[in-house]
Amino acid sequence: MSEPCPCGSGRDYGECCGPIIAGKAKAQTAEALMRSRYTAYAKGAVDHILASCVQDDGIDAEATRAWSEGADWKGLTIVRTEKGGPGDDEGVVEFVARYVMDGLKEEHRETARFVREDGAWLYDSGEVKTATVVRAAPKVGRNEPCPCGSGKKYKQCCGK
């Protein structure tokens, strides 16, 4: 059964990011690696995220796992790429990753730098741009009925 790739390429997961995450294929471009890293976050494949970084990056594995598993990943938009092709040794990918976490819609906007070492693309560093956080659901007033369906006021139920 085919499954669309979470990276938004429009391709099947098994033909897009799946082989890269499984280690059966190398990303041919910096953008392909970026897409596989987003997909790895969406699928909880933290080993791929860690393995696709320059090793002296000092990435926090537990924080990465918590973010990957705690977020509901909604989509990836590639804003622009600079170099990062099959004949390059470095590249830049600017992207927006959308997700919901703790009831808040969030956007991770980053301009990421990639390098190619021994024929493999790796995430090197990134500049994160802050974004406004928007609630995923309307805020419930203290005196409104609780959304859990108990029939109690929110302040007497889940709002304690």
User: What is this structure's pTM?
Assistant: 0.81
Give pLDDT, residue 145: 85
Structure token digits, residue 40: 């790895």
Instruction: Summarize pLDDT for 45-98 with one digit per residue, the tens.
Output: 999 999 999 976 578 899 999 999 999 999 999 999 999 999 999 999 999 999
Residue-wise pLDDT for 102-131, tens only, equals 888 899 999 999 999 999 999 999 999 866
CA–CA distance, 76 with 110 (Å, rounded to integer): 11
Quote the domain boundaries for residue 36.
13-129
Check residue 56 and give its pLDDT: 63
In a domain, 51, yes or no: yes
- Residue 152 region by backbone torsions, left for phi larger than 0, else alpha for psi between -120 and 50, else beta: beta
Both tokens of 76, joined, read: 């990836």
Between 35-49, 116-130, 146-160, the lowest mean confidence (pLDDT) is in: 146-160
Residue 79 lies in a domain: yes
CATH number at residue 108: 3.10.450.50
Specify if 38 maps to a domain.
yes
- Write out the H or E segment, with its range, that includes residue 134: strand 134-135
Is the residue at 114 inside a domain? yes
Q: Give the pLDDT score at 1.
A: 63
Residue ranges of alpha helices (H) inside 12-149 are 18-21, 30-43, 46-51, 61-70
For residue 132, what pLDDT band results from cuts at 50, 70 and 90?
low
For residues 3 and 14, the answer to whether their CB atoms sit within 8 Å is yes
Residue 150 lies in a domain: no
Question: Can you give the pLDDT at residue 113?
Answer: 97
Query: Which two three-digit tokens encode residue 89?
Result: 């040794």
Question: Residue 137 pLDDT more than 80?
Answer: no
Q: Number of folded domains in the chain?
A: 1
134 domain residue, yes or no: no
Res. 8: pLDDT tops 90: yes
pLDDT value at 142 more than 90: no
Q: Domain for residue 152, yes or no?
A: no
